[in-house]
Amino acid sequence: MPRQYTLQRAPRSTSIHIDYAAELNEQQLAAVTAPPGPLLVIAGAGSGKTRTLTYRVAYLLENGIDPRNILLLTFTNKAARQMLDRVANLLPVDASGLWGGTFHSVGNRMLRRHGSALGYSSGFTIMDREDQKDLINTVVASAGIDPKEIRFPKGDVLAEIFSFVVNTETPMEELLGEKFPYFLPLLDKIKDVHARYEKKKKATNSMDFDDLLEKTLLMLQHHEGVGVFYRRQFQFILVDEYQDTNKIQADLIDTLARDHRNVMVVGDDAQSIYSWRGANFKNILEFPKRYPDAQVFKIEMNYRSVPEVLEVANAAIASNVEQFRKNLAPTRDSNAVKPAVVALNDGSEQAQFVAQRILELRDEDVDLNDIAVLYRAHYHAIELQLELSRRGIPYQITSGIRFFEQAHIKDVTSFLRFAANPRDEVAFKRMVKLLPGIGNRSADNLWNAWGKSIGAVAAVADRGPEATSAPTGVSDPGYNFGEHLLAMKVGARSKKSWEQLAHTLDEIAPTGQPNAPSEMIMSVVEAIYDDYAKLNFTNYELRREDLNQLAAFARQFKDVHEFLSQLALISNVDAEAAPNQTSDKEAVNLSSVHQAKGLEFHTVFIIWLTDGMFPSARSLDTRDALEEERRLFYVAITRARDELYLTFPHMRLSGGYGDVFQRPSRFLKEIPNTLVEDWQVQRQ
């Protein structure tokens, strides 16, 4: 009979090597040294949240908890590595057995070990978004859906819909009604495709990114042996940025902590700003309801900002009803500079003010890299990008690619480019490939056919914008695009949209002479591009806002050639400045507030603080949406360390309604006048 031999755990020191009281402030210390049980740590902006989590892990290890019994969940693997590296620097212990990483990476690890319980082998494939899109398109074809007969969402959009259903645990019909109402008539077909997609993944031993959460939760809830195994292993669970978790992530945490309930979640309800991508604000707000015995700690000592900025931040968030009330307290001395509220005439003057003030700050030895301009939506920075380019001020876009380089902007302007210059092959091919059934080869053939009839068309276009009429007594019928385009052969799938293209080009450039660029943009969007955007982009509404603002921006140009020249000049200046973004040279940071979360700067400008812009027009109907906008404003303010400028124009251009009067943001009115300084801008 074999002899039984038991490996004993190595003896662990239970003495405290770290002087926690010396390393932490009183609020941090209370959270770090709290006894086991459910713990909610509300960590205000700049209060040392990461430090608190790191020292909590060290405290558990020093008190004899085996690293294998600790699970640290973060939103990036980098964050987990940094915390564990800090722990290793604090303590001479081997913490390699500790599980730390994102929800998805931890789910992947569990499924590799025990996914057979769901019928998956350990070698399952994880599809990226491109693989997922291809598989969904295959499933759509197998479902007998004919794109010639029905305008069905593309694979990318379906992937986004399926992702929301999983992460928010929302029924398909409800989800479509909330986020994609224009697809509700296709509900049954989309449900069928979803079911087929799930079967296809199982048959090919493949998972998408969302399965790493959904299948893990399913496995823990419905396979008791697996659930018991992981609940016993993870005796202490710590969660970073808890305010950003979605429904399925919260359920995953609650499932793992069901028996021991030793779960510490750390976050800031005032920085919950991601509901648009599925984050659930209720997770952090209702944590004490799900865990009635939870201890709640507030960490309010701010190490980032001067008192003047913090006073404005505290006032800005005070009007929210649903929140854990706290008061950020400064550790830095006053700099005697109050945040500025600056009223401007319009977006152009706002851009001039920001650009001039940036140059002045640079003269005051503030590094351009330490200056940020924050905005609610990407299109808010159109005038500013133009002004910075004109003045040669280098800038980098933290919130993505530059406005005029975005796909939907270039798509729509390709129609204008072609109408203004019928010899523009690049614009022609980009434009026609937006139509169903036209790919690279078809576009080449169509361009060759167009070239055969281009002579008469180009002759009119070459006369330029000034030749709006023929000399007296000379007949000048001009030309129409439709006459030439409709004589060309296209496939049956493309025929209807080709006719619409011909009609639209004649509408935006009657007799070959382009209309005002703003009118051209709106005509293209309404006649062709709006439907295309709904089927092809997951964030259709945001892109439509961009296009509306592009039309508004174009109102300052009467001539399409001048408008297109300005766009080209901006792009060329930007292209020359692009190396600055990856070199050591300075550049001002332009960013949406969402992308700036977690960052900090010496000086912050928050622009377009008007009702309908910030807060956004879509948020004004419900209290929940408005409160999230207010949290977004709070996040923007707390990015500033030393100086803060809050700007709002009285007027803005509108695509189809002329100049629109702007009311100052209601958020500005909620800040007491004594906390800010009004700047009156005058022109020389």
The CA–CA distances, whole Å, from 248 to 156, 198, 213, 266, 280 equal 22, 18, 7, 18, 10
Report how far residue 385's alpha carbon sits from residue 387's, in angstroms, rounded to the nearest whole number.
Answer: 6
Assess whether 398 carries a catalytic annotation.
no
Residue 25's Cβ-count burial label (10 Å; 0-12, 13-18, 19+) is middle
Give kind and range of the element (H or E) at residue 636: helix 623-637
Contact status, residue 278 vs residue 306, Cβ threshold 8 Å: no
**Which entry of 235, 245, 249, 271 is annotated as an active-site residue?**
271
**Which entry of 208, 210, 211, 241 is annotated as an active-site residue?**
241
- Name which of 350, 342, 341 is nearest 384 in CA terms: 350
Give the N- to C-terminal CA distance of the chain in Å, as an integer.
100
Per-position DSSP letters for 81-104, written without gaps between them: HHHHHHHHHH-SS--TTSEEEEHH
Assess whether 198 carries a catalytic annotation.
no
**Which entry of 210, 240, 268, 628 is annotated as an active-site residue?**
240
**Which entry of 49, 429, 430, 543 is annotated as an active-site residue?**
49
Assess whether 452 carries a catalytic annotation.
no
Assess whether 50 carries a catalytic annotation.
yes
Assess whether 639 carries a catalytic annotation.
yes
Per-position DSSP letters for 433-495, written without gaps between them: TTSTT--HHHHHHHHHHHHHTHHHHHHHHTT-TT--SPPTT-------HHHHHTTS---TTTH
Neighbouring C-alpha atoms within 13 Å toward the C-beta of 572: 7
Contact status, residue 639 vs residue 46, Cβ threshold 8 Å: no
For the chain, counts of helices (H) and of strands (E) = 30, 19
**Which entry of 50, 221, 398, 556 is annotated as an active-site residue?**
50
Per-position DSSP letters for 32-86, written without gaps between them: HTPPSS-EEEEE-TTS-HHHHHHHHHHHHHHTT--GGGEEEEESSHHHHHHHHHH
Specify which residues 41 forms β-bridges with. 266, 297
Contact status, residue 142 vs residue 135, Cβ threshold 8 Å: no
The CA–CA distances, whole Å, from 212 to 90, 195, 196 equal 33, 18, 19
- The tokens for 433 are 């490939």
Contact status, residue 593 vs residue 375, Cβ threshold 8 Å: yes
Question: Beta strands of 219-311 (E only): which ranges?
Answer: 236-239, 263-267, 295-299, 301-302
**Which entry of 639, 643, 652, 662 is annotated as an active-site residue?**
639
Q: Which residues are catalytic?
A: 49-50, 240-241, 271, 639
